[in-house]
Structure 1
């Protein structure tokens, strides 16, 4: 594996400048295409079908992990929001806790985790409690500043 960066919930790779970046491995639990109401096609085409709660990688395999999990608890069955962002399960707290654990596990010591969260339906403070580690710093973005970009560094010596 040549990838140094993991995006385990890549969706349609919306945040990526280079959607085919060779340094990155793009994973997702979905592989699907949707035609949006304006005629655009939304493609979720990961390099690897995977579940962020249980990743098929060795410990310490990546230098950088970008974790942008689904953030919606409610959305219409055929809505573009569901197609674009995916959905949380009813056990979303455990899912996200497992996701953070796995992200830190596959990071090398002192590796970086970039976490993206939109708090329209779930406040970011409720999600950060699940991370198991304090973030270094973060930034709010978007028209209503509901999207948070948060940076963690995995501690060394096997601590997560």
Structure 2
């Protein structure tokens, strides 16, 4: 798996991937599960590797590219489809968890490696998230119906 050039640190159902089986990537997530959504569609979370983004099982400087799209919901019901689809943050530890995720992303990235970070600020403003890392972003783009989804690119020094 470490021959791959991209690490998706919390792949979920691989929603934004053009090729959900892209051989260039290692798809990692803390969960593997399947759910039927309210409209009958299947939500499948099937990572190549079960791993916690706070403690990745890779050596330093392994990947030239990492993707970090962590759960962004702090308040969501246990059986809500949004929680099943996107995961849920721990209300007490989310700041520490995301800070550790950023640290791990930069640890496993090679020098001058690229981190692609995605965040939806429906519940938590992106400014609070960017404060959890000392690495400064270089490019960002807002998308979505209300411009609440942020795509942000970082480069490891």
TM-score w.r.t. the length of structure 1 is 0.96
Paired residue total? 155
The residue that corresponds to 1:107 in the other structure is: 109
Displacement of 1:131 in angstroms is: 1.7
CA distance in 2, matches of 1:120, 1:63: 30
The alignment status of 1:21 with 2:36, answered yes or no, reads: no
Q: Flag as ranges the 4+ runs of structure 1 deviating above 3 A.
A: none
SS at match of 1:84: helix
CA distance in 2, matches of 1:13, 1:25: 11
The residue that corresponds to 2:59 in the other structure is: 58
Map 1:18-57 onto structure 2 (within 5 A): 18-57=19-58
Displacement of 1:74 in angstroms is: 0.7
The residue that corresponds to 1:117 in the other structure is: 119
Q: Can you give the 5+ residue segments of structure 2 that lack an aligned partner in the other structure?
A: none
Q: Please, what is the CA RMSD of the aligned residues?
A: 0.5
Q: Can you give the 5+ residue segments of structure 1 that lack an aligned partner in the other structure?
A: 156-160
TM-score w.r.t. the length of structure 2 is 0.98
